[in-house]
Amino acid sequence: MRNQGVVESVLVLDGVTKSYGKSRGIEDVSLEITKGEVFGFLGPNGAGKSTTINVILDLLYANEGTISIFGMDSHKDSVDIRKRIGYLSGDMATDPSLTGKQYLAFAASVHGNVDTQYVNELLKRLRCETNKKIKSLSRGNRQKIGLVAALMHDPELLILDEPTSGLDPLVQAEFNKIIHERKTAGKTTFMSSHVLSEVQAVCDRVGFIRDGRLLRVSSLEELMESAPRRVNVLYGAVAPDSQLRTLKGVSELKKAGNRREFVFRGKYNELLRVLSMKPIRDLQIVETPLDELFMEYYQSKEASDV
Amino acid sequence: MFKNLFTKSLYTLRWQLFGWIAAIMFIAFFTMVLYPSFSQDGIEQIVDSVPESMRSLVGDVADFKTIPGYIGQQIFGPNLYIVSLIMSILIFVSISASEEADGRLQSLLSLPVSRTKVYFQKLLAATTVVTLISVSVIAALWVALLIIDESADYGRIWQSIFAFTIINVVYGLIAYVAAMVTGSKGYTILISSGYAVASLFITSLAPAVDKLATADKFSLLHYYNNPQIMTEGLNGNHLLILGTVAVVLIVVGWYGFIRRDVQAS
């Protein structure tokens, strides 16, 4: 266990493999998530995100490897574990003839000891419609009911499988706020997502999965630090082109009049020294958005596989 | 409102419960009020026109002329049980394979509830609904007998209702177990309806076709209303066979369900 004694592990996957007959599910996935962490699980469709989540939830049984949640075995102690877990799938499914209120009452009765005041607060914050039958609700409104059901017992571990599909921006912002509040309270969140801005907004660490294999796990800070920056500089007269060309870490250098644009991954002191050799009128150093990183990461992996 | 999965499942099945009660009572009621027409001599001519080898399918003509024979042959015979077996299979499929196919089972199992509890509470809910629908036949018969001004042995009617309920539940159980073991709606419908059609075919023709005698032993319909309960009373051995099959099915379904992957959306 990482930093044993200092950081409490909430979820540990050790060499987990799940295959469906001849077809692949996930292969040798190992991962450790600690208390209070918000972990983003990224990958293209069919990469193995949902399979991983369903194995964690004991809906699918792993062929190999072990999963420990709160120090308990995810299979043997699955009911005790699920008392402390909240889960929402990408498209919440329940009896369509129930109203939102009826479904939440059922979920509350199964969980037991649910704080009604907290549930009402969640309903208000997420602007839920609870009196309509679930079949008459839009996907976004169904997801909101599902979110309340997942959060109602204030779970220690929240597992979300592409949770914000269909949510409007206001509710999305409220959702991000709730995740931050949970983090402050020491609660853990594991979420798979396609919405990279959402991952960037709430996650501490991210894991990239493709073809059932976990390719990389790193903190968002590490990821962004190692990520290239787009540099856009406008010179007053002449640009230090020869120095820029030879500077380590510069690529895709483009010239347009006195403007120079390039991608930089290297030491910033060196960059600033070279840039300041000539008078600068304007300078922008832009962080690469996560979605570009994501695309670059998967494209480079695909290229290396070929 | 919902204290547990059982009450929630009952609520989910409420429209099927009301709909099927109406349908089954309608069939039982109108079949019974037509008794005076059947008990007249014209029925003999109809039966005489049926080839000798097919007589077993329509039963003994004498049965149509007495109230016990008529109830045994027409109310608790193929007219009603063909419909009720379909009813039972559909109810058990809707609470098992259908819920898994659309992701409801996955949502349910993400809550702190064990698979064993899910299995038995759903089973209990579907059994309760099928039982209520089966028992509703007695109300239809009571009203119909009042209207045609006839009386019947209600002890024997209750015995017949008991056997009718058992056979409906057992056929529903085949569907439930297939769903809980395979997780596939397609396989479930194929297995349960395939077996129901095959057993109906075999048991209907077995009295007229000697070669089907062995196959008939594997048809659960062979152990229902044979001989007629309205005239002979319940057959304890047959009930024991149906009860044993039900228990074996329940155990097999439970064992399969707790050991397999649940289809995830």
Architecture of the domain delimited by A228-287: 2-Layer Sandwich (3.30)
Which of B2, B107, B113 is nearest residue A105 as measured by Cβ atoms?
Answer: B2
Which CATH number is associated with domain A9-219? 3.40.50.300
Q: Would the pLDDT of B137 be above 60?
A: yes
Contact residues on chain B for A142, CB-CB shorter than 8 A: none
| A146: closest CA of chain B, how far (Å) | 9
Contact residues on chain A for B15, CB-CB shorter than 8 A: 97
Taking the alpha carbons at both ends of chain A, their separation in whole angstroms is 35
pLDDT at B41: 64
The mean-pLDDT minimum among A121-125, B55-59, B156-160 falls in B55-59
Average pLDDT taken over every residue of chain B: 91
CA–CA separation, A264 vs A285, rounded Å? 9
Q: Which of A242-246, B39-43, B209-213, B238-242 has the highest mean pLDDT?
A: B238-242
- The verdict on a CB contact (< 8 Å) between A91 and B103 is yes
Which SS3 state, helix, strand or coil, does residue A189 take?
A: strand
Does this model's pTM top 0.80? My answer is yes
Q: Which of A194, A157, A216 is nearest to A50 (CA)?
A: A194
Contact residues on chain A for B111, CB-CB shorter than 8 A: 82, 107, 110-111
pLDDT at A4: 47
pLDDT at B18: 97
Q: Would the pLDDT of B141 be above 60?
A: yes
With a pLDDT cut of 90, the percent of chain B lying above it is 78
Where does residue B210 rank: exposed (0-12), middle (13-18), buried (19+ CB within 10 A)? Answer: exposed
Concatenating the DSSP letter of every residue in A144-169 gives: HHHHHHHHTT--SEEEEESTTTT--H
Q: Are B80 and B31 in contact (CB under 8 A)?
A: yes
- The verdict on a CB contact (< 8 Å) between A109 and B4 is yes
What are the mean pLDDT values of chain A's consecutive 10-residue runs (306 residues total)?
A: 64 95 87 95 88 95 96 95 94 89 94 93 94 92 94 96 84 92 96 80 91 89 79 92 92 92 88 93 84 68 57
- The verdict on a CB contact (< 8 Å) between B106 and A98 is no
Q: Which of B163, B196, B189, B194 is nearest to B175 (CA)?
A: B189
The residue-averaged pLDDT of B127-140 equals: 98
The residue-averaged pLDDT of B54-77 equals: 78
Would you list the domain boundaries of chain A? 9-219, 228-287
pLDDT at A226: 74
| Closest CA in chain A for residue B258 | A59
The mean-pLDDT minimum among A260-274, A280-294, B15-29, B223-237 falls in A280-294
Top-confidence residue, A292 or B249:
B249
The residue-averaged pLDDT of B131-139 equals: 97
Strand pairing category for A229-235 and A280-287: antiparallel
- A·B CB contacts under 8 A: 76
Residue B53: how many other CB atoms lie within 10 Å: 11
pLDDT band of residue B47 (cuts 50, 70, 90) is low
Which SS3 state, helix, strand or coil, does residue A306 take?
A: coil
Residue type at A19 in one-letter notation: S
ipTM for this model: 0.84
pLDDT at A45: 83
- The verdict on a CB contact (< 8 Å) between B102 and A79 is no
Tell me how long chain B is: 265
pLDDT at A80: 95
| Closest CA in chain A for residue B8 | A106
